[in-house]
Amino acid sequence: MKKTAQDELLRLQEAIVGLRERIDRLEREILTGDRALQQAIKARGMQIHCDNPEDKLLFTAEASPEERTTLYHLLRHYSFRLLLRDAIKKKDAFREEDLVRYCSLEVARHYIVALRDLKLVEDLGTGVFRLVQRSLSSFGPTLEWFVAQMFQREFASPAIYGVRFKETSSGGDYDVIARWEGKLVYVEIKSSPPRGIERSEIRSFFARLTDLLPDIAFFFVDTHLRMLDKIVPMFQEAIEEQDGQRRDDLFPVRRVADELFHINHHLYIVNTKKDAVDNVNRCLIDFLAYNRAELLPLIPPGRR
């Protein structure tokens, strides 16, 4: 039976649909479901119960890739993240002037327009706005999504967020887990300023490190405030608590640069002053420089 042009067109359309589905699967595999990441977790005897929860995010599961990309680039701005925290607190009704604690009215107006264009904020009229996701109670999960996206987009690393494991001694969520340069990376994320972080949270962080055994770990605090005043001393105290004696000689807390600190070039304490992506990148470079001993004599001091 002779094929008509319409039959050929239908065949091509079906082939295109099939190709799109395969591309979508490959993208998910590369960005969020990388087998090597899953294998690294399984090698540590851990089983994922759930991850990547979208029901607690600023956007819904129906958000398009383009909308997610736009939101990611907005979230790179510290002022936008601060504005979102205030918007979530006042989620049922707020005005532009309610969101100017950390930015000008002009900047707040720009961000609200962007949020409205993304269908994340709706205009109630007479200058009043509200979040579309009014069940949202915390900025934390969206910040975790942002950091996971950072690893995917900036460092070509598969990453998952909001991870819960079955039967771990430490319990709780593992905020972001990524696989970078063949290494397992764990990121504990705090959206509170340093004054809101307690010693018990540092201890819980160490407990999760013991369970997961990552190659690189980050204690990531989304603030422009100093880490040296409260966070670094709490880490020093937590290290001493590990075996009841001072371990400053084996596990000193040292500065990488500015308010970025490391413990033996494996555990990093970072804030987001200047730029969150750049700060994480500087720590990753520090890890590479100090953990490739055979190349150290050839690496200029400024890159270590």
Contact 224, 194 (CB under 8 A): no
Number of domains in the chain: 2
Q: Stretch 170-187: mean pLDDT, rounded?
A: 93
Amino acid 247: pLDDT: 57
Question: Is the pLDDT assigned to residue 198 strictly greater than 70?
Answer: yes
Nearest to 154 by CA among 180, 190, 191: 180
Nearest to 242 by CA among 216, 210, 276, 266: 210
Q: Stretch 86-101: mean pLDDT, rounded?
A: 94
Contact 199, 238 (CB under 8 A): yes
Band (pLDDT 50/70/90 cuts) for residue 239 is: confident
The Cα–Cα gap between 241 and 199 comes to 11
The domain boundary residue, chosen from 131, 166, 186: 131
Q: How many CB atoms lie within 10 A of CB 90?
A: 14
What CATH number did the domain enclosing 95 receive?
A: 1.10.10
Range in 119-133, 158-172, 180-194, 225-239 with the lowest mean pLDDT: 158-172
Same domain, 272 and 169: yes
120-143 pLDDT, tens digit each:
999 999 999 999 998 898 999 999
Backbone φ, ψ for residue 219 (5° rounding): -105, 100
50 domain residue, yes or no: no
Give the contacts of 88 (CB within 8 A, at least 6 positions apart).
Answer: 131, 136, 137, 138, 139
Q: What range defines the domain where residue 114 resides?
A: 65-131
10-42 pLDDT, tens digit each:
888 888 887 877 776 665 555 545 788 999 999
The domain boundary residue, chosen from 111, 131, 151: 131
The domain boundary residue, chosen from 109, 131, 153: 131
Read off the pTM: 0.85
Question: Is the pLDDT assigned to residue 146 strictly greater than 90?
Answer: yes
